[in-house]
Each structure stands twice: as structure tokens, then as C-alpha cells.
Amino acid sequence: MTTTVARKIAFVGNHVPRQCGIATFTADLCHFVAQAAPSVDASVVAMNDAGQSHAYPARVHFEIAEDEIASYRRAAQYLNASGVDVVSLQHEYGIFGGKCGSHVITLLQELRMPIVTTLHTILTTPSALQRSTLEQVMGLSARVVVMSEHGAQTLRDLHGVPATQIDVIPHGIPLAAQGTHGKQQLGFAGQNVILTFGLLSPDKGVEYVLEAMPAILERNPNTVFVVLGATHPHVKEHHGEAYRLELQSRGRQLGIAGSVVFHDRFVGDDELAEFLSAADIYVTPYLNPQQSTSGTLARAVAAGRAVISTPYWHARELLADGRGVLVPARDAAAIAQAANALLSNEAGRASIGQRAAEHALGSSWPVVARSYLTTFDRALEGQRRSRTVPRSWLLAPPADLPELNLDHLRSLTDDTGLIQHATFDVPRYEEGYCLDDNARALLLMTLMEEVSTARPRPLRAAASRYLAFVAYAFNRDTGRFRNFMSYGRRWVEDVGSEDSHGRAVWSLGAVVGRSAEPSRQGLARELFRAALPPLSAFSSPRAWAYSLLGIDEYLRAFRGDSGVESLRQVLVDKLCELHGVHSSNDWPWFEDSLTYSNARLPQALITSGEAMGSQEVTDLGLRSLAWLAEAQISADGHFSPVGSNGFHRRGSVKAEFDQQPVEAGAMVSACLSALRVSADARWAEHGRRAFDWFLGRNHLRLPLYDARTGGCRDGLHQERRNENQGAESTLSFLLALQELKSQDSAVASTLAAT
């Protein structure tokens, strides 16, 4: 029995009966920790796939819907109120919602107890978003657990994590379950058995074992290759059984179908032990050399099987010193050679298995559980501190925000795309469609898809339709987008405005940087790059700004694209030069007038300056946005944007009306960007003031947002609202609302540093 300082421990991760390796790991870790220290109250907060639920055992006290930000907040509130001493987080990018699993940051920020994070995947070449997300998680963790020395080295060298914060604890192995019946029970009597098991997915490299089988069978004809495990649920959701069917077809083509057995099911410990006892060779032909852990490999080693593996990091360490055989990835001939050598040398095979089993004793779950308890105590003793998010960082508490209602957007959308105008809330067919609004709608769908998969099919279908419109608008002969289309599906111009071109670039960049759909991302990338050449010759500063926002989105996925980064520098220089020409102490602006979508100009510099590491550019954006924000506050203290009936020329009186939703939406978005980079709470005040304009904090004290339809009215006159609910107005509100709902992710990096 172990004595521990921590009395109440909550484990956050997947949990059985969910079928995946992390679910099994979390269940085992919780069980053996409770067994090692009976005085500890060990419970689980389980992650659920979108729209899924499971019949969990009693130790699961709370569930998180992976795609719902609010669910992470509720979990934090539950854990804070439950007197939990330490949270043990199982981290893997794919089990949390948001891009690269960023939703989990919302949970960690609000927890008041120390966090111990176990990293199940450590990439040596992460993308910019993967790296940022992981470093925020580690920054919010008191201690970090890795399962190999290579993982620890990667954290120190690549991420700068202090060695004193890292504990190396091997993947736990249940040694108790031992098969007894072996080949006879499973129907493999008299045969050599090569086994692989685990959830089936294309990165497992099973096809290379199939290609090795003819050479194996030539020398060892009584050999069977057993593929044990169901298709990974995420693979099945997106691709069905395509990979399994492809493997079966490949087996038939190679003439080895009679020597390959597919068991399409998820097996428990006892059944798995039977298969391991029947195996002469266990094989993990994984394709990803960066795979840092493999629970299936650990199980096979503990069972004393002779193992053939590709040299991913976990295998290199676990099979060192003659405990297994390493072969190159994607090399069927090497697999065949290794298998034949092992099958022809029973004594050598047994010796390898014995060395592996002896080594595994140090990784048994009871030993691993005691190591985790020591780590939990270190975290509790060394770093008990509050992680409550300061509410001054938030433009709007989640409870204050309306729900996203897409009803009116759907009513404006037909098989072609988004109709641009409405009479009241009825679509106005005679005015047709425009690229501007379809690009805005594509941006909204992309932002929503990134943080929520509760309704994946409707979002996916809508995003594809708006992207199709944007793609059709691009004229490859001119390299420019067309903007206006009649209801009869005829373009009414050959070349659209520069601003509409910039908005299209923005939406396409967002699809590239945020979408999880490879086909949509691929088309968007092709169009994005095709649309870049004209930008440097444009004269519209708003087109430059929209394009810079799109470039920033694109570089989320392709940072280091030198051509795009060079174009960003060109457009930033243009905006800065324009500001230098027109600005003065009393008019620190880019032009001699304030017109429309004004906040997008400073927002482009704030965002680009941060990405480029240029404080000068960022500060210029912040100063100009601060002046704009102050210029748009009424005497009564509410948001009062520049009116479209005359705008505001330098030296003249600002037009008060008609006030447009696009101005409020742009100000909300720009303030979020400023808040994220500057850690200045005044941006929360300015941004909330702008959003409240939609909800009735204006001179008429009437809401522009129509909660009944989900639409937004087209503007505010001196004595009345414009009751029409067009696409631009509705999307301005919905985009602002969506960005507010995702605000925790937007400021996460700054919060982690405070």
C-alpha cells in the first residue's frame, strides 16, 4: 500500500467502453492507482466523440462533449467544486475538439488544482498549430509525463521544457492476463502465427506484411497472418471500411487470402491474451517514425513474443538490446527476411521473447501506478495555484451570448449559393448572389466546423456549397474573381471589385488553415494560390487588409511558404506607407476619410505584425484601432459607428447614420485580435460595446439581431431600424458571435503566459 499526499485525483481522457488505446490506458491507470493507494479517491472525466455517449462504469463521474466549448467549462466547474487535488490529463491531439485539440486549453485555464499531463504523442516536426497547442498545454501543467527518453529529449530540445518538469514513466502493461489455450483454442493448430492487433487505420502499414507473405509462405508454408482489431472509429466515420477492403483485395491479388485472417472486432484483455499466447511473432509495421508510444507493442513484449517492428521511437527503445527485430518502414522484403529468420530458429525466437518479458517487468501497471502517485505528489507539493481565467479577458461571459441560429442563413441559401438581399426576412431573388457574401458564409462555416462537429453534415454541406460558389466565381483567364451573379446564374461582370477579391482570398485562406476536410482544403489551397498574383497591384487598402487576414490563415497550415510570406510583407508595407502619408497627430488613420469595414485595416496590421515578429507593425495597428474605437463612442457611451450616409471626412462632422452591422462585426473581430496580442483589458470593453450594439445598446435601444429568425437587420437609421435582413448584415452578426464563442482559444497563448 502506497502513502500519498494527493487524496482526490481526477483522470481526464477517453475511457472504456469507448474503443481506443487511450480509453484502455485511462481505465487501467485509474484502476491501478486506486489499487496502489486505496485511500485515494480516483475518478474519471471522460471525453465523448461528437454525438456519442457510452455506458460508462461508476468511476466515470463526468463527460465532456469533445466539440462543445461550454462542455469543457462545465467540466472545469465540476472539478473545481469537487475538491480534486490533482488532474491527470491524457493528451492526444485527436481526442479533444478544435484545431489540433485546442479546446482542452479552455478546460486547463479554468482549473484551480495542479495538472499532470501525460503526452501520448510527441511530434519531432509538429505544425505551427500543433506546436502552439502543445506548448500551451505544457505551460498550464505542473508536470509532464512522457513514456520514453526520446520523448523527454524532444520536449527539452524542441519545446524548451525544463528537465525538472518532466517525468519518464513507461506505458503500463497488464501482466496478469495470460493465455492458456493458444493455437488449439483459436483454430491455428500446427501453424506458425504472425499477429498484429489494435484499431485498424492506414498508418498501421499492414499492407507491407501482406506483401511479405508470399516470401514467408515460400519458406514456411504453414504460416498464417492474423489481423486482429476493429477499424478505428474516426477512420470508419470518414472512410468506412475502405482500408480493410483494400487489404483484403490485396491479399486476393497476392494469392495469400487463405493465409490471412481478419478479426474485425475490439477484443478485451482475456481474449487478447489468448491471441498473444498463440502468436509466434508479433509485428508492428507502423509507418509514422514519430509515433512515441504503442500500447499494443508493450502488451506483446510483456507477453514474451518475438517482435518485428518498424523503427518508430517507442519500438527503438523497447526493443533495444536484442529484445526484438527492427526493419525499415515500407519494406516488405525486410519483413519477410526477419520473419523467416525467426520462424526457422525457435530457440532464438524464445530467447528474444524472454529478454523482452523480463524487461517488461519494470513496466507492469502496479509499478507504473506507484510512479504516477509520486508525480502527483510532486505536482501537488510544488505547484498548487489557481488557473481561473480573469473575466476581464473575456468580451462576453458565455451565458450572456445568444445561441447561434442559422435558420435565416439557410433560408437565404439555395442550390447555387447565398442570395444577397431580403425584404424583411424573405429572400429577394431579383438581386441575385454575390461573391462577397458567399465568401463571408464560407468563413463562418469554417470557423464553426473547427470548433463544433455536433452537426457535421449540415455544416459540411453548407461549406461545400459556399466554396463551390467561390470557386465558380474565379475566372482563370483573368486571374480575378467575379462578384455579382443574377438569379438566373449569369455573371453580370467579367471582373469583380478588388475588395471582393480580397474577401475571397480571406475565406480561402481560412479553409486552408482551419478545415479538417482534405478535399475542401486542397481546392481552397489551389484557388488561394491562383488568386494571389493580382494582389500586389491592387490599390484598395481594404483588399490589402482582407488578403492579409487570409494570408495569416493560410500560414497557420503552411508557415514557411516563402512566396506567400513575401507577399504579406509587400501588403503590410503598403498599408504602413499609406498610414504614413495620411496620418497626423489628430488623425492617425490610413486615409483622409473613415468609410466602411474600417476596423479591418488595423486588424490586418495587428495580426500580421504578431505573425512576423514586428512589434512596430503591431503597435501601429493597435494605435490606429484605439483611435478608431474612441471615435465611435457616442456621448451616451454606446458604440456608434461611422454612418454610411456621408461617412467621415477629415475636418468634417462624422455622419451618424445609417449605421451598418458590418462596422460592428469588424470592430468585435479586431478587438479580439488586439486583446490576444496585447494583454490590454480595454479591448474587451471596446469589443463588448460593439457587440452590444447588435443587441440593443444603441441610440434607439432596439436590437438589430432578430432572435426569432436568426437574421440581423440591415442598419440603424436616426428614427428606425432597416427591417430587411440581408446576407451581409446577418453574417456580420453571426461571425462576431462565433468569434466571441471561441474567444478562449483566441486569447489562450496570452493567458498561458500570465
CA angle 437, 575, 495 (to 5 degrees): 40
Residues 6+ apart with CB under 8 A from 548: 568, 571, 572, 575, 604, 605, 607, 608
3-state secondary structure at position 482: coil
Low-confidence ranges of the chain (pLDDT < 70): 1-3, 175-182, 232, 234, 291-292, 383-400, 452-456, 744-754
**Start-to-end C-alpha separation, the chain:** 39
Query: For position 502, what pLDDT does the model report?
Result: 98
pTM: 0.57
Query: For position 559, what pLDDT does the model report?
Result: 82
Instruction: Dump the DSSP string for 508-561.
Output: HHHHHHH---HHHHHHHHHHHHHTSTTGGG---HHHHHHHHHHHHHHHHHSTT-
b/e per residue 455-492 (b: at least 16 CB within 10 A): ebeebbebbebbbbbbebbbeeeeebbbbbbeeeeebe
| Helix H or strand E segment including 458 | helix 456-473
Angle between helices 206-219 and 332-343 (to 10 degrees): 50
Q: How far apart are CA 459 and CA 453, in angstroms?
A: 8
Query: For position 351, what pLDDT does the model report?
Result: 93
621-644 tens-digit pLDDT: 999 999 999 999 999 999 999 999
**What are the CB-based long-range contacts (under 8 Å, 24+) for 654-658?**
654/594, 656/718, 657/716, 657/717, 657/718, 658/715, 658/716, 658/717, 658/722
3-state secondary structure at position 490: coil
218-227 tens-digit pLDDT: 999 999 999 9
Instruction: Dump the DSSP string for 259-310.
Output: GEEEE-S---HHHHHHHHHH-SEEEE--S-TT----HHHHHHHHTT-EEEE-
Query: For position 394, what pLDDT does the model report?
Result: 56
Compute the Cα dihedral for 174, 175, 181, 187 and give only its sign.
Answer: positive
| Helix H or strand E segment including 227 | strand 223-228
* Residue entry with cell 505584425: 609
- Least Cα distance to 694 among 685, 705, 686 occurs for 705
* Residue entry with cell 474612441: 630
Domains annotated for the chain, with CATH where assigned, are: 8-172+366-382 (3.40.50.2000), 182-361 (3.40.50.2000), 391-747 (1.50.10.10)
All three cell numbers of 259:
493465409
Q: How far apart are CA 77 and CA 64, in angstroms?
A: 12
All three cell numbers of 657:
447614420
Taking a C-beta distance cutoff of 8 angstroms, is the pair 22, 92 a contact?
yes
Query: For position 46, what pLDDT does the model report?
Result: 96
Report helix, strand and coil shares of the chain as percent, to nearest 5. Answer: 50, 15, 35
Q: How far apart are CA 691 and CA 683, in angstroms?
A: 12
- Least Cα distance to 548 among 564, 527, 537 occurs for 564
